[in-house]
Amino acid sequence: MAAEQAFDGYRLTDELQAIREAVREVCAAKVAPHAAEADETGEFPKASFDALRAADFHAPHIPVEYGGAGADALATAIVIEEVARACASSSLIPAVNKLGTMPLILAGSAALRRKYLTPVAAGDAMFSYCLSEPEAGSDAAAMTTRAVRDGDDWVLNGVKRWITNAGVSEFYTVFAVTDPTARSRGISAFVVEKSDPGVSFGAPEKKLGIKGSPTREVYLDGVRVPADRMIGAEGTGFATAMQTLDHTRVTIAAQAVGIAQGALDHAKGYVQERRQFGKPIADFQGIQFMLADMGMKLEAARQLTYAAAGRSERGDADLTYFGAAAKCFASDAAMEITTDAVQLLGGYGYTRDYPVERMMRDAKITQIYEGTNQVQRIVMARQLLKG
């Protein structure tokens, strides 16, 4: 699935187009049919996971050497975009697998990568990312979860909050303070297993959207972790966390683009069928202007997301700026587009008989997680002012 060249000018390569078509086919047949049920019940869409796993779209970014598909950053973004077009909750399967494993890919030892990336690639496990805490959200360096050395082990105590797919994932990248005097330079990263004694989970959060992706607290009560499960050197965890987010904000942008595309698709179909005053409402200029704005914002978001994905793959110096810009712009656009889609469907858009109200609710989280859009603007401004 890796693409040697992401773009031919501004046209996706044939390989990337084929990936899009393959994901769209799987999602139309085996993911979209479960989207409304996952939203209604709040249960993890196991059937969608099984379908993505069977097609190797559950964690496409895992390198070939660990049994993965070896998709580059742009191909992975396209996979997430297409899954989100059908079901935002299901798109968090490949997205969070990348988020959870990216610290290992960036900083983990060869043995650690082999041990944990291989089962994720096979679809035998999922990986979550534990950074946020009750009193440490945007200010992640203020975390209080502690890891204390005890012989050949580290003992972890603390609470992590807003953890996507918690309880479903087998593995967790956990950030904890190993030197309280060093603030961000005193934070280290560890792999924690669901089966480790002392690991437990809170009740699922009752959320506005992405209800089929469980969000829970993770409790660490004297969790003993072997020293070789530390990701990178001691004290480098915060830097690894921030570097990870530079890459994975691109996946949230892709998710936002996919949600918006799904909403626009439904709105276009509806306005061509719905008749008022003797003709389809698509014939009215006011409706056409709304659709034009939706399409324009969506394509701008997509192009910025793909540009950021290219920088993610190359590891360009300006990835921090582009990752923040793509995530911020695409999520703001998705919120506007899904809200307009509800408006275009009128009263029907406000009911669960049509999927656009779900898409509007799902879109909101893309403005909040992996750094609020206010934080993204801080990140962008700092990058702009560097020079």
CATH number of the domain residue 373 falls in: 1.20.140.10
User: Looking at residue 192, what is its pLDDT?
Assistant: 98
Same-domain pairing of 93 and 221: no
pLDDT digits (tens, 9 = 90+) for 14-44: 999 999 999 999 999 999 999 999 999 999 9
Average pLDDT over residues 165-173: 98
Domain hosting 254: range is 238-386
pLDDT digits (tens, 9 = 90+) for 180-211: 999 999 999 999 999 999 999 999 999 999 99
Residue 249 lies in a domain: yes
| Known active-site residue 273 | no
User: Looking at residue 11, what is its pLDDT?
Assistant: 83
CA dihedral sign of residues 310, 315, 317, 318:
positive
Which one is predicted more confidently, 387 or 78?
78
Please state, rounded to an integer, the average pLDDT across all residues of the chain: 96
Same-domain pairing of 168 and 145: yes
How far apart are the C-alpha atoms of 242 and 232, rounded to whole Å? 14
Residue 2 lies in a domain: no
Of the residues 206, 236, 266, which one is the last residue of a structural domain? 236
Residue 1 lies in a domain: no
Same-domain pairing of 220 and 348: no
The answer for residues whose C-beta is within 8 angstroms of residue 378's C-beta and 6 or more apart is none
Domains of the chain: total: 3
How far apart are the C-alpha atoms of 60 and 266, rounded to whole Å? 28
Residue 296 lies in a domain: yes
Q: Out of 133, 217, 313, 370, pick the active-site residue.
A: 370
Same-domain pairing of 226 and 267: no
Same-domain pairing of 116 and 152: no
Of the residues 236, 265, 293, which one is the last residue of a structural domain? 236
pLDDT digits (tens, 9 = 90+) for 345-384: 999 999 999 999 999 999 999 999 999 999 999 999 999 9
Same-domain pairing of 212 and 143: yes
pLDDT digits (tens, 9 = 90+) for 122-165: 999 999 999 999 999 999 999 999 999 999 999 999 999 999 99
Of the residues 122, 145, 165, which one is the last residue of a structural domain? 122
Buried b (16+ CB within 10 A) or exposed e, 191-223: bbbbeeeebebbebbeeebbbbbbbbbbebeeb
**Cβ-count burial of 108 within 10 angstroms (0-12 exposed, 13-18 middle, 19+ buried)?**
buried
Same-domain pairing of 252 and 141: no
Task: Check which CATH number belongs to the domain holding 232 and give it.
Answer: 2.40.110.10
